[in-house]
A and B are shown apart, each in its own frame.
Chain A
Amino acid sequence: MTGVRFSGVSKRFGAVAALDSLDLAIEAGEFVSLLGPSGSGKSTTLNLLAGLIDADAGEIRIGERVVNDLPPDQRDLAMVFQNYALYPHMTVFENVAFPLRARGRSAAEAEIEARVKRVAGMLGVTELLARYPRELSGGQQQRVALGRAMVREPKVFLLDEPLSNLDARLRIRMRRDIKALHEQIRSTIVYVTHDQAEAMTLSTRIAVFDKGRLQQFDAPEAIYNRPANVFVANFVGEREIALLAGRVERDGADARFHGAGYALLLTGAGARLAPAAGRAATIGVRAEAVAVSADGPGAPATVAMTELSGPDRIVYARIAGGPEIACRAEPRSTFASGQDVRLRFDPERLHAFDPGTTLSLIP
């Protein structure tokens, strides 16, 4: 098994810095997701690793080997492309066997057949071996592409948004299968995605990219619970995080937040928000950090809209004199638009950021 290391790697396309001085060390056997919106540099990172594009600066290592000047065929990787890139003029069997027939590693025909059959069995495509790619459904093509990558037992797997062309249900099932696959083969996997839920469920660590820069590289829990900056906090999570600009004052065990034209008492948040106290700060509030109730203690607000998201009901409530924020409520609860409600904030789930640098103030 082999790790991957980027040291100071940069890549420009014309005037655009696609990747700016990336340092990233992926341990052997890890499942690392590169997460970010389009144009963030995640695909550039993957293509640099695959050798499909050349780095302008820096060093890329696979294991102990510096691979900057190695062509893709000598890097001993396997890759699954977003559109699968199956060879249309070959049958499924020939597609999966193709990597085994490359020069310098050509195995005996009997062994090729045995390995292709084993992989096909693992992925449940044994009956499809004689078909051509155009005769397969999207999910089947996906499996064949995975099989073609697996058959060589490579040290490092690269997956470039492999699930984004599948429908929602199939995507979740394939997610499970990929995770099971990783647990079985234990290869190093680098997985590019723009879907934060995919990254969360699959990865041992997530590298979040924006504008060609690595924003944070950490375990999923840490990315979710301790986002390094506003971008990460906003990109990760089911829906957008509410960002409230103002000042935080500590009040013993509690904290007070003064926004433009409104104030919030954040019960029990004194200790957590202490690093942000006495200064201008942006408070980040996810829907799951706010409990909404018809009465009782809490900040007064008015319901603007509600939506049922399956397991939860999401209530959009306008804080008296302030902005609208999303809150999570019991699915069986009923709130009518215009109803007065109370909001209570879970102190452990509040985030505070520097308004200038956007970096997190909470260590």
Chain B
Amino acid sequence: MSWRARSLLRRAVNAAIMLGIVATALFPILWGLSTSLKPTERILEYPPLLVPDQPTLAHYRMLWETGIGRPILNSAIVSAATVALCLVLGSLAGYALARFAFRGKQGVMLAIVAVMSIPLPSVLVPTFTFLVNLDLNDSLIGLVLLYTAYQLPITVWILYGYFRTVPEQIEQAAMIDGYGRLAVLRKIVLPLSGPGLVAAGLFVLTFAWNDFVVAVVMSSSESVRTLPVAIYHYLGFFGRDWGPLTAAAMVSIVPVIGVFVVFQRYFLSGMTGGSVKG
């Protein structure tokens, strides 16, 4: 076989493998989308159709009428507040770790990594009693605080890594130009850390938006239900009513996909932490 044919073959094999991975990952989602667009009586028909021949938005209309708006709003509030809180606190902490030498810094860094490896379910019960004591259970504020606590370590870690790639001399120049540390962080470091902020923000956002376990444990009233919990309740309420269930799932997926599509460029460069800056 000539080298040309070999290289062609290798590319074909690569493409086939990647296509397989993509198909495996996307299939359940596409199947869900297809189901959500089918009339109820045709969802379970055999043989199944991937592309519905009579698409309908009936299930989405029904979601709206049964009040999906409130959980969407709750999820949006909780996610936005968590992202904002994580980025503000994470920037300050990450900057301190990136730029200051202080006693116990190694310990703090170690603790951050260690905390990240604690499985969430193992702390659910203690956090619940803790929240009850603070009278913050069954409230959006309680959820925001918990999500922030869970996601702050990874946020600090990502931002710490990114801040270290900002040339220190630029900061020194700004200090000599008359700016204190906080002003330098705000006017120089953060504007130059867009990719890092996006990467950290997306991490936090996907966690807060998708979280089911914490939300279902910490909240009981309908008024503080987040979207994943609401979807779960559709499952219970309608039995095996696949149409509204998949439609609700689609509704919850779309914003995250949208955000990723908008920010994917930054997300990638943020994850590589400036190692390929330029």
Q: Taking beta carbons and an 8 Å cutoff, which residues of A are in contact with B? A: 50-52, 71-73, 75, 77-79, 81, 83, 85-89, 98-99, 102-105, 148, 152, 158
Name A99's closest neighbour in chain B (CB-CB). Answer: B177
Min CB–CB distance B113 → chain A (angstroms): 27
Pairwise interchain contact A79-B178, C-beta atoms closer than 8 A? no
Q: How many residues of B contact A (CB 8 A)?
A: 16
CA distance in complex: A147, B109 (Å): 40
Q: Nearest 10 CB-CB pairs, A to B?
A: A102-B178, A85-B173, A99-B177, A72-B175, A85-B169, A79-B176, A89-B191, A73-B178, A72-B176, A85-B170
Pairwise interchain contact A50-B170, C-beta atoms closer than 8 A? no
The digit string for B192-236, where 1 denotes a CB below 8 A from any CB of A, is 100000000000000000000000000000000000000000000
Q: A78-B176, A79-B172, A102-B178 are in contact. List 13 more A-B contacts (CB 8 A).
A: A51-B175, A52-B176, A71-B175, A75-B176, A81-B169, A87-B188, A98-B177, A99-B177, A102-B183, A103-B180, A103-B183, A105-B178, A152-B178
* 15 A-B contact pairs sorted by A residue (CB < 8 Å): A51-B176, A52-B176, A71-B175, A71-B180, A73-B177, A79-B173, A81-B169, A85-B169, A87-B170, A87-B188, A102-B179, A102-B183, A103-B179, A152-B177, A152-B178
Does B28 have its Cβ within 8 Å of any Cβ on chain A?
no
Contacts of A104 in B (CB 8 A): 178
CA distance in complex: A102, B191 (Å): 17
Contacts of B178 in A (CB 8 A): 73, 99, 102-105, 152
Contacts of A52 in B (CB 8 A): 172, 175-176
Pairwise interchain contact B191-A148, C-beta atoms closer than 8 A? no
Residue from B173, B183, B192 within 8 A of A89 (CB atoms): B192
Pairwise interchain contact B169-A72, C-beta atoms closer than 8 A? no
Min CB–CB distance A189 → chain B (angstroms): 15
Contacts of B179 in A (CB 8 A): 73, 102-103
CA distance in complex: A152, B173 (Å): 13
Residue from B172, B180, B188, B191 within 8 A of A81 (CB atoms): B172
Does B167 have its Cβ within 8 Å of any Cβ on chain A?
yes
